[in-house]
Structure 1
Amino acid sequence: MEKTFNVYMVPRTPIVKGASAVTGFTVRRHKLYLHHRPVQTKTHRDCLMSFLAFLRALDRPLLAGHNIKRFDCPILARVLEEFQLNEEFKLLVSGFLDTLILSKDLLRNTGIKSFKQENLVKELLKKSYPAHNALEDVKALQDLYSALRPTPAQITSHLFTLDHMESHMSLQPLVEGKAISKTTAQKLARLGFNFEKMKRSHLQNPSEGLRQFLEPLKQELKNSMFTKTVDKICDFFKIEQ
């Protein structure tokens, strides 16, 4: 029997008119409406608890979604941390897979110009579906994933975890301060480095601590770029002191 999870919550920020026109959702007097009909909602915490209960009934699934690495996962990571549920969540899933990134890899040189989920479903499965409906989106994505037929190696190469997301989010001050690029932040996060660990290594040994700590990054960058990156991060921490 197919297991599904679908609950609603009142968003914390206003729904703009354009989004309402696309999704059918509106909020009036702290109540959520779908196509002008009220829907039952839960608090953010209750939604998360229900989601964890749903995951607990599965065998550490890999959570796949389209464009989740840039959009959905950072939001999920923040709210899990807010309610101190991130560690429990990590025990219940094996990781995330962004099918947008995966499809761009598997379908390069095929002539496909748009990698939006709707377009890929139309191109590969020759069908359409009610987009912006959560359950229909997921069902269509399941079919799309089956059609892509990624190998275990391809899945592994694109898999990322909540730890990765948390590390990447922690590095944003360095990106915003132009100490590192967005690409370097991704590489650091993938290697398990976060802001606090890097700062601690610098404070413990301002001359060489960070350079030694970030040694694994050398495999990702040219020597000159590695040195320049370490110097910029050190300068950032010096200014912050």
Structure 2
Amino acid sequence: MTRWKRQGFFSRKKALHYQKNSLLLSSRRKAEQIAEEHGFSSSSERAVERTEHEQSDSDIPVPDSGDINVSLNDIPNSRYDVSWREGRQMVELGVLADGLAGCAKCCIPLHLTHTVDILHCGLGAFLRVMCQNTTCQHKNIVPTGKRHGRIWDANTKLAAARTSHITQLAAVHGNETFSTYVMPDIPIIPSASDITGLEVRNGILYYHGKKINTLSISVALDSFFSFLEKFNNFILVGHNIKTFDCSVLLEALESCRMIPKLTDTVKGFLDTRILFKTVHPNLHSYSQQSLAKTLLNMSYNAHDALDDVLMLQSLVNKVEFSAIDHNCSTFSCQYACNIFNYQKLIHKNLPSLQCLIDQNVISLGMAKKIDGSGLDFSCLNLACKRNQDGIYALFTEKSLNCKFVRVTNTKRILDSVNEFFMSLNES
């Protein structure tokens, strides 16, 4: 068969195949347009949920109507692992556009709205986009950013620290409620104001254009603890509290030197997002708004912390769960503090290991593990200078009464890091 290069095809057969598919796609688009003009329902696709290793504490009491639901309204600066339509994701438009340019099998352009699920990789992600062609329907893997091997540029160029600040703090216990607004320490960007309705003008906080009274973060936390101290033997219940709210709360508590007050007052935490994933494993989304719509057929203002905790209280009272479900969803204050300190070490030490990540000596995950163990570039370099087996000894050392090594005992990683620093010191 002769090679036919018009419109970029190398054979007439492929060109005719493309023309046939284009006609089918055109007719389908007309049908979809008619459906959109006369339809009144929409569908959302199920997202791929990452499995989580959860740590539980059996001595934490099971929550009931007397436990405290707590919510923090913060300046949005994080993603939530729910459906692909929800949350925030770092995207390089050029890479995404190239990925959506055409199906890998039939070459017909892809559409973002045909995404069926998402796999998060730190700040990067893979989208699985189904081809619109009814005769093809191939699920294409589309990255949202550039990569070098298995390393995402987005993950290596930005630190993983949270920069959210509390703007509203609310809690509910039975029929008693607590709510206060906090003057943020950082400016509220316009896009965040559009979402939350909060904005600062001339040092005054406004909510949807209405002036509201605010407290400093230290006074707000004092008031919060005064509310908590009225109750005994309780846990704090929050949605997605394990991965987000605890870090924001502990950041504020640390700035005011109040972390000991938390550990003395609070028995532990329960993350309702983990609880609902355990009790209702087949839902398409586990955002609190979606759960309220699915389980209670109700909607609410998710960007008002008081409305948020009241709805969460209703959801918790609605669900029935076992002691095992409870244990999988709870964690202690000490665990939350350990994770918070671990994240701080990573934020502090990660930039020093950037050169090792860029040269593919270690992965981003291994760099975080090294940073979380309290080591940085200077520690590794010093260990290598003192002893040619210093890296091996440092990475594989064990703490007292612990069966795990400090970093790793994988020979390939040990050899790679040791070779890097040996060559660095020789030059």
1: CA distance between counterparts of 2:402 and 2:338? 17
More helix per residue: 1
Write the mapping of 1:41-60 to structure 2, written as runs, cut at 5 A. 41-60=214-233
2: CA distance between counterparts of 1:194 and 1:167? 12
Instruction: Tell me the alpha carbon deviations over residues 73-102 of structure 1, each in whole angstroms, 9 at most, x when there is no partner.
Output: 111112212211111111111111111122
Residue in 2 aligned with 1:7? 180
Distance 1:127 1:70, change over 3 A: same
Residue in 1 aligned with 2:307? 136
1: CA distance between counterparts of 2:404 and 2:313? 35
Q: Does 2:322 align with 1:151?
A: yes
Higher RCO (Cα < 8 Å, 6 or more apart): 2
Instruction: Tell me the alpha carbon deviations over residues 9-63 of structure 1, each in whole angstroms, 9 at most, x when there is no partner.
Output: 1111121222212221111111111111111111110001001111100113211
Q: Which of residues 224, 227, 233 in structure 1 aligns to 2:409?
A: 227
* Counterpart secondary structure, 2:215: coil
Give structure 2 stretches of 5+ with no counterpart.
1-173, 354-361, 384-389, 422-427
Query: Which one has the largest radius of gyration?
Result: 2
2: CA distance between counterparts of 1:215 and 1:78? 29
* Counterpart secondary structure, 1:58: coil
CA offset at residue 137 of structure 1? 0.8
Instruction: Tell me the alpha carbon deviations over residues 157-210 of structure 1, each in whole angstroms, 9 at most, x when there is no partner.
Output: 22123322221232233584568849x97xxxxxxx9759xx9xxx9xx84883
Distance 1:61 1:174, change over 3 A: same
What is the aligned length?
211
Deviates more, 1:54-63 or 1:162-171: 162-171
TM normalised by structure 2 equals 0.44
> CA RMSD, aligned part only?
3.2
Residue in 1 aligned with 2:206? 33
TM normalised by structure 1 equals 0.74
Write the mapping of 1:85-104 to structure 2, written as runs, cut at 5 A. 85-104=258-277
2: CA distance between counterparts of 1:157 and 1:118? 22
Residue in 2 aligned with 1:105? 278
Distance 1:121 1:81, change over 3 A: same
More strand per residue: 2
Deviates more, 1:164-173 or 1:97-106: 164-173
Distance 1:92 1:113, change over 3 A: same
2: CA distance between counterparts of 1:96 and 1:153? 15
Give structure 1 stretches of 5+ with no counterpart.
186-192, 219-224
Q: Does 2:365 align with 1:210?
A: no
